[in-house]
Amino acid sequence: MKFLIAGLGNIGAEYDSTRHNIGFDVADTFVLKHGGTFTLDRHAFVSEVKWKGKTFVVIKPTTYMNLSGKAVKYWMDKEKISMENMLVVVDEIALPVGTIRLRGGGSHAGHNGLKNIELVLTTDKYQRLRFGVGGDFPKGRQVEFVLGKWKPSEVPAVKEMILKSVDAIECFATQGIGKAMTEFNK
């Protein structure tokens, strides 16, 4: 059984360790845990890892956040991965830091990466893991906030939730989105 895990973010050193790149951070941690490495390929940094009889194609799109759908669609088609076996990991300002939410589909909630995936796939019926980055920013400063670095006080909770996100991905692959939602949406 094959899965596509798409950790969203932006390429470039200036985006490293920012809230908007949490998808990359989760993808990196998942791949590292399972002994893989990333290589640059078409539209993404890609790693293939195996765990419990399952193959995970993990991508970090190089298309920048707003064109994430291009990379997701390319790798779904290339690897012949069904929509049910695809999970997108993304930052979420509507959730507090230290919170994750798995969903089996639904609104892009204004997130440009999800909006583009929905546009390219022509559906919102795909699984996603929303990683809470908080919403503590003045009106009109959302872009600066999500492209900003974590506050030192947030780092321990972020590290803990990255590890929980890896567990959630494993649960999704072994037990399905329903069980993963029950287990991790607390």
CA distance 109 to 131: 13
SS3 5: strand
20 is catalytic: yes
| Of the candidates 62, 39, 41, the residue with the CA atom closest to the CA atom of residue 49 | 39
For residues 70-96, one letter each, b for 16 or more C-beta atoms within 10 angstroms of the residue's C-beta and e for the rest, the string is bbbbbbbeebebeeebbbbbbbbbebe
Distance CA 23, CA 161 (A): 12
Catalytic residue from among 20, 34, 43, 108: 20
Q: Give the residue numbers marked as catalytic.
A: 20
